[in-house]
Amino acid sequence: MAAPAPIRENSMSSPLLRYENLTIPLPGNADRAYAVQDLSLTLAPHEILCIVGESGSGKSLTALSTMGLLEAQFDKPQGGIYFGPDNLLDLNERQRAQKIGGKISMIFQEPMASLNPFYTVGQQVSETFRIHTDLSKAQIRQKVLALFDEVLLPDPERIYRSYPHQLSGGQCQRVMIASALALNPQVLIADEPTTALDVTTQAQILKLMLRLRESHGTGILFITHDFGVVAEIADRVAVMRHGQVVEIGAVAQVLNDPQHEYTKSLVAAVPRLLPRNARQNLGPAVLRAENVKKTFSLRSLSQGRKDIKAVDDVTLTLRRGETLGLVGESGSGKSTLAQCIIRMVQPDSGVIEIDGIRFDQLGKRALRDARRHVQIIFQDPYTALDPRQKVGDAIAEGQVIHGASMAQAAKRTAELLKAVGLDASAADRFPHQFSGGQRQRICIARALALEPSLLIADESVSALDVSVQAQILALLADIQSKLQFGLLFVTHDLRVASQLCDRIAVMQRGQLVEIGEPAQLFQNPSAAYTRQLLSAVPGAGWVPRAADQSRYTE
């Protein structure tokens, strides 16, 4: 089948950035010839252009080619990326630095991976000024402090002296934004800058982006897979698939009246803030946690010892067939509570009972045997599987440890792969041969291999594309209806929690501040903190017309 003709926009006067038939070849062993093919886009001053699409669509490679950061495995891109009269693809590294310097900046997805742990953040942001200006050390310091203030970092003097590990994820992302803005760039490229952030921090970053667009006249190329974010900030939207732009237009047109079938499928997969009532006729309690406490003691030369109550006297129950959502900001204690329940982290005190077994009283050997009653699915499917172990062996391993024969484990593994929508032949392949969504299906199959009474999903869909996320959520709901396990669903996405969970528990600073059915909790929250979380949901006012939410509910 012939490739579709590249989509071109209407002409726009004086664009800041212009892509003309950008084509990035892929290495010879790839599944297609081009990572990006015949891409033509423009970005205007004061404009926010969002690029959306699934993993592998070419979004990030477009951004990296603009910055000259493509890995060596890629051949030189073809076509043009024009900043003013200059084609950036024709410039070498030194010419690029001289001509554009800080005029084009980029914010990456993982701030902790972008910041050097050996230097204070003040030193790292100062480096930009040292390289590109003749300012004195004192002048640079004042510039950096002013930037920290502009991006709403609290106590800029303290932040200046802090190392990355001493800051929260949201604070580190603000530092990266400050660094990107240091030389007042005309173009800002943001590659998934809010994906790993909780809703309140995400809302603050988005408001900051909008404010900077107005105050600096900056054109922002914003790469994301979150359509709530798109609805919140975009002026225009470009949809990419398999390296090509399949649709582009004003945000209202693309989100509310998509023309391309691929865009329609993406919009249909977007989770809505659609609170549900709890299901009836649930089974007996499978989890009982009473007065669970966990305190971490941190020591530093500057501050001495500091005790942090990660879980502070939390009590909750979960029944068979029920889904309990655990929501809250980063640092609220939700993941620590989940790890205390499974005894990955040893609680200081409290009662933890799973399937009638007192987990808090078990020794190491008894705990190993009892853990077949509870399994956990982690956030990142790329690091959850051993790259040297075949998928079938990973799923069968727990079964064999707990007494199954190799033949029994192989048979059960084939059944589980089929249950999660994969062919039995997948058992003979390695993790790197699967996509992220397929790997998460494998992780679910592995977790279900021991037929647990309790399944913990810790941010298990937050890093996935909306279409893959919808498939995984539907899969969890379908398998739970058949096996009737209790599901403890840890998430920062209130839209998903509102339609998947029977009850939602809201945590703040280690404490359980509110718990109830989504319909009651979202429509009439009693805690101010819950109201704050709800008000921060990006794109809450946009309702996808084509969305089919029946797959999450019975």
HEC letters along 17-72: EEEEEEEEECCCCCCCCEEEEEEEEEECCCCEEEEECCCCCCHHHHHHHHHCCCCC
What is the model's pLDDT at position 245?
96
User: Alpha helix locations (H) across 101-136?
Assistant: 111-114, 121-132
Secondary structure, 3-state, 467-525: HHHHHHHHHHHHHHHHHCCEEEEECCCHHHHHHHCCEEEEEECCEEEEEECHHHHHHCC
Domain 284-523: what homologous superfamily? P-loop containing nucleotide triphosphate hydrolases (3.40.50.300)
Give the pairing of strands 357-358 and 349-354: antiparallel
536 and 200 Cβ atoms separated by less than 8 Å:
yes
Give the pairing of strands 86-87 and 104-107: unpaired
Q: How far apart are CA 342 and CA 334, in angstroms?
A: 13
Q: What is the 3-state composition of the chain as percent helix, strand, coil, each rounded to the nearest 5?
A: 40, 25, 35
Q: How far apart are CA 36 and CA 103, in angstroms?
A: 24
DSSP 150-170: HTT-SSHHHHHH--GGGS-HH
Contacts for 350 with CB less than 8 Å, ≥ 6 apart = 289, 290, 291, 292, 293, 313, 314, 340, 360
487 and 476 Cβ atoms separated by less than 8 Å:
yes
Q: How far apart are CA 422 and CA 338, in angstroms?
A: 28
Q: Where are the beta strands (DSSP E) in 224-284?
A: 236-241, 244-250
Q: What CA dihedral angle connects 157, 161, 165 and 171, to 10 degrees?
A: 20
- In the sheet with 486-490, reading across from the earlier edge strand, the strands are 374-377, 454-458, 486-490, 323-327, 503-508, 511-516
Q: How far apart are CA 530 and CA 149, in angstroms?
A: 28
For residue 139, the SS3 value is helix
Between 391-401 and 436-448, two packed helices, what is the crossing angle to 10 degrees? 20
Q: What does the pLDDT profile of the chain (554 residues) look like in tens digits?
A: 344 444 445 444 589 999 999 999 987 766 688 889 999 999 999 999 999 998 888 898 999 999 988 887 788 899 999 998 999 999 988 888 877 767 899 988 777 778 999 999 999 999 989 988 899 999 999 999 999 988 878 889 989 999 998 887 778 888 988 898 888 889 999 988 877 677 887 888 888 888 878 887 889 999 988 888 899 899 999 999 999 999 999 999 999 999 999 999 999 888 877 788 888 889 999 999 999 999 988 766 556 677 889 899 999 999 999 999 999 887 788 989 999 999 999 999 999 999 999 999 999 889 888 888 999 988 777 788 899 999 999 999 989 988 889 999 999 999 999 888 888 888 999 988 887 778 888 998 998 888 899 999 988 887 677 887 888 888 888 889 888 999 999 988 888 898 889 999 999 989 999 999 999 998 899 999 999 988 888 777 776 654 444 434 44
Cβ atoms < 10 Å from Cβ of 146: 11
What is the model's pLDDT at position 412?
92
109 and 196 Cβ atoms separated by less than 8 Å:
yes
Q: How far apart are CA 552 and CA 545, in angstroms?
A: 17
Which among 275, 217, 341 has a CA at the least distance from the CA of 525? 275
Residue 32 tokens read as 């297609």
What is the model's pLDDT at position 393?
94
What is the model's pLDDT at position 6?
45
Q: How far apart are CA 321 and CA 476, in angstroms?
A: 11
Chain length of the chain? 554
Q: How far apart are CA 343 and CA 375, in angstroms?
A: 11
Give the pairing of strands 244-250 and 236-241: antiparallel
Contacts for 36 with CB less than 8 Å, ≥ 6 apart = 22, 23, 24, 58, 61, 62, 65, 77, 243, 244
Q: Where are the domains of the chain?
A: 284-523
Q: How far apart are CA 312 and CA 310, in angstroms?
A: 6
Secondary structure, 3-state, 413-480: HHHHHHHCCCCHHHHHCCHHHCCHHHHHHHHHHHHHCCCCCEEEEECCCCCCCHHHHHHHHHHHHHHH
For residue 184, the SS3 value is coil
Residue 7 tokens read as 């989509």
353 and 288 Cβ atoms separated by less than 8 Å:
yes
Residue 260 tokens read as 């391309």
For residue 190, the SS3 value is strand
Burial of 424 (0-12, 13-18, 19+ CB in 10 A): middle
